[in-house]
Structure 1
Amino acid sequence: MPEGHVLHRLARLHHRRYAGSTVRVSSPQGRFSAELVDGRLFQRAEAHGKHLLHVYGPDATVHVHLGLYGSFTESPHPVTEPVGQVRMRLVGPTHWTDLRGPTRCEVLTDVEVDALHARLGPDPLRRDARPELAHARVARSRQSISVLLMDQSVLAGVGNIYRAEILFRHRIHPYTPGNRIDRALWDDLWPDLVVLMRAGVAAGRIDTVRPEHLPEATGRAPRQDRHGGEVYVYRRTGLPCLVCGTPVVAAELAGRNLYWCPTCQAP
């Protein structure tokens, strides 16, 4: 499932291409009520965590959650015939966008949009984020910080890669209970997460390794992985930690894989 930086990257792209224009919206697949926004002014695009919002207003916002299989394809004019199961087609002055396979694609009222925002935690990539609210939820929980970081009602937008990497960068064992994450540690972790995720938006990939641990600084081979990016522990099970050399370990928690260094992130 795409992490939050992907949705913010899409929001920036769609805002740049469509905001301020009257657009055509259709559903070649027939499973989306495109007529509710077709021919209306596309006001803006924004994201909150893993949710993308196309705002037409008043009382009309297209909400997209890509889930595991959803994807957008972006093309310049001319517009061609749909290929495959296109849930939503968006056509603007110079470009067109097709959406396939999302978990959610629906038109929400303003009240429903407010309810969506209310059930999501602070998003490190949003200017209105209040990190103290996320910490308050973490600090009163006995659940592991690994579970809490992936709980979108606690913190919106973080997925498995950012979770593994931010815990490594702050030397936090993944099974540490949330109520042991004090405010000082959280105040170090949050801005670091903001920087990493903003870099992800800019680059279109996740890089979390500090300059002194990059391949060009250490002489090691660059990472070869379909996800791209240089990381410390994510999907590096059995490989030496880039800091101390201890083999990275993995375990499953709540149906997702954890990765950590048992030395750098000792309990």
Structure 2
Amino acid sequence: MPEGHLIHYLANRINAELRPGPVTVTSPQGRFLASATQLDQHEISHAEAFGKHLFIDFAAPGPEHIVYIHLGLIGKLTFETADADWGQIRLHIARGEVAANLRGPQWCRLISETEFAQALAKIGEDPIREDADPNKVWAKVSKSKRSIGSLLMDQKRFAGVGNIYRAEVLFRQGISPTRPGHNLTRMEFDAIWEDLVQLMRAGVITARIDTVRPSHTPAAMGREPRKDDHGGEVYVYRRAGAACHVCNTPVAVTQAEGRNLFWCPNCQAN
């Protein structure tokens, strides 16, 4: 599932490439046809992301004018030429020769401002957003018996953080993923939050996840670059059994929140 940095990247591209001016909105697959017809030839006011949720606000008549997208596990929103027609396109938004095509989302809905507010109420604080309030997250984490490895995947707390950022930020901070939230100090929590802000905002620019410090890049260590569908240079994610870049201990893996959780037993002993 795409993590929050990619959703912000997509929102930025929509704002940059599909505005200003009216856009062509269709649903070649047909499942969003009625809503697409309502939006066709209207302008996009703005697109924005909250965690893993994308909202595209149209300057269209009627109470329902916001397209609400969640990509889920297999969904993709790709920028292509306006005449691209491969696959099952749920939503097609084109301006000139450029189009954003949505395929296989978990959902794509047309909602009102009231429904938008209701959706936001269910989403936690997004480290990428300037209006995020980490104090609200700390208030919940500091009282929780759940492990920090579990809490970081809770979208009602850390919006946009996924399996990669979870594993990598805990490694970078030397914190065991099994530590209960209420056992973290405020200083440790603040370090996790600030690291997420730095890493995830960088990911918005590059549309990939890179978490290794300069001293651990392939060039600095004389090692081969990472080869993985997710791209980016990481410390522990999908490196089970491989030597830790810092201490050479084999990277461990277990299940947490239904996903593989990777960590270094030595670097993250606390």
Alignment TM-score > 0.5, same fold: yes
1:264 aligned partner: 267
Matched, 1:67 2:72: yes
- Given candidates 160, 163, 168, the residue that maps to 1:165 is 168
Distance 1:177 1:57 in 2: 46
Distance 1:221 1:28 in 2: 43
2:115 aligned partner: 112
- Given candidates 160, 177, 182, the residue that maps to 1:179 is 182
Shift of residue 265 of structure 1? 0.5
Does structure 1 retain, via aligned residues, the 8 Å contact 2:78–2:100? yes
Shift of residue 36 of structure 1? 2.8
Q: How does 1:168-207 map to 2 (within 5 A)?
A: 168-207=171-210
Shift of residue 56 of structure 1? 1.2
Q: Deviations over 1:156-213 (max 9, x none)?
A: 0000000000000111101111111221111111111111111111112111001111
1:5 aligned partner: 5
Shift of residue 57 of structure 1? 4.5
Distance 1:151 1:36 in 2: 35
Shift in alpha-carbon separation, 1:217–1:84, aligned structure 2, 3 A: closer
Q: Where does structure 2 lack aligned partners over 5 or more consecutive residues?
A: none
- Given candidates 34, 37, 51, the residue that maps to 2:36 is 34
Partner amino acid for 1:54? I
Q: CA RMSD in A?
A: 1.4
Specify the SS of the correspondent of 2:200. helix
Partner amino acid for 1:9? Y
Specify the SS of the correspondent of 2:244. coil
1:44 aligned partner: 46
Shift of residue 18 of structure 1? 1.6
Q: Where does structure 1 lack aligned partners over 5 or more consecutive residues?
A: none
Shift of residue 84 of structure 1? 2.5
- Given candidates 71, 80, 86, the residue that maps to 2:83 is 80
Distance 1:226 1:34 in 2: 32
Q: Deviations over 1:134-166 (max 9, x none)?
A: 111111111111111111001100000000000
Does structure 2 retain, via aligned residues, the 8 Å contact 1:71–1:102? yes
2:16 aligned partner: 16
Distance 2:30 2:224 in 1: 48
Matched, 1:121 2:115: no
Matched, 1:226 2:229: yes
Task: Choose 174-183 or 156-165, whichever is displaced more.
Answer: 174-183
Shift of residue 263 of structure 1? 0.6
Q: Please, what TM-score do these two structures have when normalized by structure 1?
A: 0.95
Shift of residue 254 of structure 1? 2.3
Shift in alpha-carbon separation, 1:25–1:118, aligned structure 2, 3 A: same
Q: How many residues align?
A: 265
Shift in alpha-carbon separation, 1:27–1:120, aligned structure 2, 3 A: same
Shift of residue 81 of structure 1? 6.4
